[in-house]
Amino acid sequence: MNILYSRSASDARSARPLLLIHGGAGPRSTELALQTEKDYRRGLLAALEAGRHVLEGGQSALDGVCAAVVALEDNPLFNAGCGASLTECGTAEMDAAVMTGDGQAGAVAVSRYARNPVLAARAVMEQTDHVLMVGPGIDLVDRWGLRREPTSYFVTDHRLRQLDSVLAQRQKAARHGTVGAVAIDAAGAVACATSTGGMVGQSVGRVGDTGLIGAGSFAGWDTAAISCTGEGEAFIKGVVAHDIASRIRHGGASLHDAVHATYERELDGRGATGGSIALTPDGQALIAHNSKAMFAGYWDGERTEAFV
């Protein structure tokens, strides 16, 4: 397990608010071939700035993570929103989820119209009695008061070329990617938000871990806020986000030890790669991955840093 950022509870007594983000994990060279390292770093820093502005303004952890993820969804470099990976038919079908430490959660899968799927996930949480909704239509997106876009908005030339390459070679590498954020606010509440376009060349209707609470996203007031990225099927089978939280809740593990044990059992044991960002209400924080590289960053109230 590779660690990009780690913070213990003793180091973080005054670390409120705190924000971690990720922009996907996988082989470094393929994604950097699209744009320069500087462009990715700029995109991560813009997302951190969006979340920081909200959190410093006294808004909630949920507001902060949503602001950060919206910035990443609006950036075509990342696999979420505009620039999402495409299905085998060349369409964008996006998943997203949000969860707060008090157990409230919302998610969407196969989202095609909402400009920002993370806000659709939040709408499910706040405007319905449900947790997961699949394929929310135009009427529902309008009813939620969300901005929508034509399906062509989400499709970029780079993703079309990437799809052609994957379908021609049936590549497995660099087919996945996800964006996400976790935060603790000034009141000590935690939240997570995750959004993805899924896997390049995936079957129409496929749903990955991002929209499944407990697999790619989880938050608990007595455990941690967690957002994952990587090979979605492995994260689903291992219920990775919840497994990390369970090791903290039931085993009394530190955040570092919980993440390490889950990676070893549920990812390494399946030959799968990915990464995660996580933080606890007492200020422990960790950005980790077992892939070759991971786009991520943090703002801890004093310092902002992005990793590409």
Active-site residue identified among 156, 178, 194, 262: 178
Cβ-based neighbour number of residue 153 at 10 Å: 14
Give the span between the Cα atoms of 197 and 179, in whole angstroms: 9
- Residues facing residue 18 across a β-bridge: 184
- Residues facing residue 3 across a β-bridge: 288
100 is annotated as an active-site residue:
no
Give the span between the Cα atoms of 16 and 12, in whole angstroms: 8
Q: From residue 244, how far is each of 5, 239, 247, 303 by CA, in Å?
A: 17, 9, 5, 27
Query: Do the bridges between strand 18-26 and strand 94-100 make them parallel or antiparallel, or are there none, so unpaired?
Result: unpaired
Looking at residue 183, its amino acid is A
User: What region does 96 belong to: left with phi over 0, alpha with psi -120 to 50, or beta?
Assistant: beta
The conformation of residue 265, written as its DSSP 8-state character, comes to: I
Q: What counts of helices (H) and strands (E) characterise the chain?
A: 9, 13
Give the span between the Cα atoms of 161 and 260, in whole angstroms: 36
Q: From residue 275, how far is each of 129, 167, 291 by CA, in Å?
A: 31, 25, 7
CB 12 within 8 Å of CB 18: yes
What is the side-by-side order of every strand in the sheet holding 179-184? 132-134, 105-111, 94-100, 190-196, 179-184, 18-26, 293-299, 304-307
Cβ-based neighbour number of residue 108 at 10 Å: 31
**Which sequence positions are flagged as catalytic?**
178
